[in-house]
Structure 1
Amino acid sequence: MPVLPGAEPYRHEGGEVGVLLCHGFTGSPQSLRPWADHLAERGLTLSLPLLPGHGTRWQDMQLTGWQDWYAEVDRELRALLERCGQVFVLGLSMGGALALRLAAKHGDAISGLVLVNPANRVHGLSAHALPVIRHVVPTTKGLTGDIAREGAVEVGYDRVPLHAAYSLRNFFRLVDGELPQVTQPLLLLHSPQDHVVPPADSARILSRVSSTDVEEILLEQSYHVATLDHDAERIFDESHRFIGRLAPSAAQKGSTSGG
């Protein structure tokens, strides 16, 4: 099945500091590509995978679940750890939950986390009905495109496959239980006006992780997909500053060859 234009995975071979970027549920690498490009230009080694079932058509996603999505980012992380001296994990929405589980499982192998509007649970009345309704109704309306900036477009699905949504609900419950195992330095940026993931999710994550080096930044001008919104440059700059503080070699210009 052809990948949607712009949804392709991306890699960049840079220096000794690696970054894994995790995109969101029904989204694609396109939502994080400007962020990846920003960091690649500053010499970091980048991996931005396309999660299984994403970036093609929603019917393909019906056949996947959280185990598939997590396995993909886990493989990419392991490859970066072999290549780089320090590795950071960045995530948007569900990608934030994937990053948190990687942190809980890999411990000190991960040097820090940057989360943008991280998701902690499936919201809405339908969430409680998912175990049953997914066998009757295949999809519901999409989640992509919650962006304040006029003209900005997110590449992703306009429908949410309910089998996948049910798996996502189970994944969020699993990750929530593992949050106390997260000890890495954490930069969390979230939008007060988010029509997909409410601020309560960020608050819960901050209250349950065991990290002591924690920064929280509000993205006042953006909606959910803040990496494509008015606050995008701030996200890019703050994340590079955060990485540079914890990995001083990241501030040194590395290779700029494409990937």
Structure 2
Amino acid sequence: MWRPRRDRRQRGDGSGGSVPNIERAAPFEIDAGVEAGIVLIHGFTGAPQEVEPIASALAEQGVSSIGPLLPGHGSEVSRLNRVDWRAWTGAVEDAYREARRRWGSVLVGGLSMGGGLALHLAAHHSAALRGAVALATPLRLHHLALPILPWLSRVIDSTTKKGIGISDPALARARVSYDRRPLAGALQLDRFLGALRQELHAVTCPLFLAHSRGDHAIPFSSMGEIVAGVSSRSIDTLELSRSDHILPLDVEREQLIERIVRFVLANLD
């Protein structure tokens, strides 16, 4: 049975910014029993739980899924500060290879950084992928401290998050995520996004992109930048307005997931 790459120290002792509801910060697999599947990737400091509603909806339509837990996640913030961005792309490649072994037709999708990792995979495997889904996906970080982040990350381990990324407070309480932002990890994210921008033109498979104008983490303009940078001939976009950043868990999730299911099924025909 497939086992995703994991930091052997992934289970923390609760210190250093552990994950609330840590028992829910686990990878998932859903076998729908057919020859089609999707790799679904969570975001920076998040967990597979934030993309699992997409997997559940697709399973009802006969589409299987793998949701890996990315290295440095699901434990303590300090673990994420020790991860090179290539460990994330490597984990996604592992999940993709397993998906190809199991299913004849494969797509990839992700939220935020996970959307960037989905685009990275598409840049390298567009000919084999049936499509890619990128939700609230950045191509660059926007922060006043970014120019000094290499220095800052050596003297400060992490900072408190300003928000949870979900507009509905009741829904936000259920999210599984680190409660602090690791600065060395953020530097690795910035380096990954720099590499992604250089290879974006290699994405040629069908795309589904969604972003909310209410996103407080990533500017809405990022979706347009992705559209302009890829070489895909088929691009579906969805503009939301009432959601924040964690789209699959927020108030417009039903509309979003319906569109994703429609996109996936259309590209499996």
Structure-1-length-normalised TM-score: 0.92
Match of 2:81 in 1: 62
One-letter identity of the residue aligned with 1:176: R
One-letter identity of the residue aligned with 2:112: S
CA drift of 1:140 comes to 1.8
SS at match of 1:102: helix
CA drift of 1:143 comes to 6.3
Residues 1:132 and 2:141 are matched in the alignment: no
After superposition, residues 28-47 of structure 1 pair within 5 angstroms as: 28-47=47-66
Match of 1:8 in 2: 26
CA drift of 1:86 comes to 1.0
Report the CA distance shift for 1:104/1:212 in structure 2 as closer, same or farther (over 3 A).
same
Report the CA distance shift for 1:188/1:120 in structure 2 as closer, same or farther (over 3 A).
same
CA drift of 1:221 comes to 1.9
CA drift of 1:146 comes to 1.1
Residues 1:101 and 2:120 are matched in the alignment: yes
CA drift of 1:142 comes to 2.3
Match of 2:224 in 1: 203
Match of 2:212 in 1: 191
SS at match of 2:127: helix
CA drift of 1:176 comes to 0.5
Match of 1:79 in 2: 98
CA drift of 1:32 comes to 1.1
Q: Cα RMSD (Å) of the superposition? A: 1.3
Match of 1:115 in 2: 134
Match of 1:252 in 2: none
CA drift of 1:220 comes to 1.6
Q: After superposition, what is the alpha-carbon deviation per residue over 1:181-237, rounded to whole angstroms, capped at 9, x for unaligned?
A: 000111101101111111122111111100110111111221100110111111211
Q: Figure out how many residues of one structure are paired with residues of the other and give that number.
A: 248
**2-side partners of 1:31 and 1:150: how far apart?**
15
**2-side partners of 1:164 and 1:65: how far apart?**
8
**2-side partners of 1:143 and 1:33: how far apart?**
24
Question: Share of identical aligned residues, percent?
Answer: 36
Runs of 4+ displaced beyond 6 Å: none
SS at match of 1:71: helix
CA drift of 1:144 comes to 6.0
**1-side partners of 2:169 and 2:265: how far apart?**
32
Residues 1:218 and 2:239 are matched in the alignment: yes
One-letter identity of the residue aligned with 1:8: A
CA drift of 1:65 comes to 2.1
One-letter identity of the residue aligned with 1:213: S
Structure 2 gaps of 5+ residues are 1-9, 13-21
Report the CA distance shift for 1:37/1:143 in structure 2 as closer, same or farther (over 3 A).
farther
**2-side partners of 1:172 and 1:7: how far apart?**
24
**1-side partners of 2:140 and 2:70: how far apart?**
19
After superposition, residues 240-259 of structure 1 pair within 5 angstroms as: 240-248=261-269
CA drift of 1:150 comes to 3.2
**2-side partners of 1:201 and 1:106: how far apart?**
23
Structure-2-length-normalised TM-score: 0.89
**2-side partners of 1:141 and 1:179: how far apart?**
31
Kindly indicate whether the alpha-carbon contact (under 8 Å) linking 1:143 and 1:160 is maintained by their aligned counterparts in 2: no
Residue 42 of structure 2, aligned match among 17, 20, 23: 23
CA drift of 1:134 comes to 0.8
Report the CA distance shift for 1:143/1:35 in structure 2 as closer, same or farther (over 3 A).
farther
Match of 1:159 in 2: 180
One-letter identity of the residue aligned with 1:36: A
Residue 89 of structure 1, aligned match among 85, 93, 108: 108
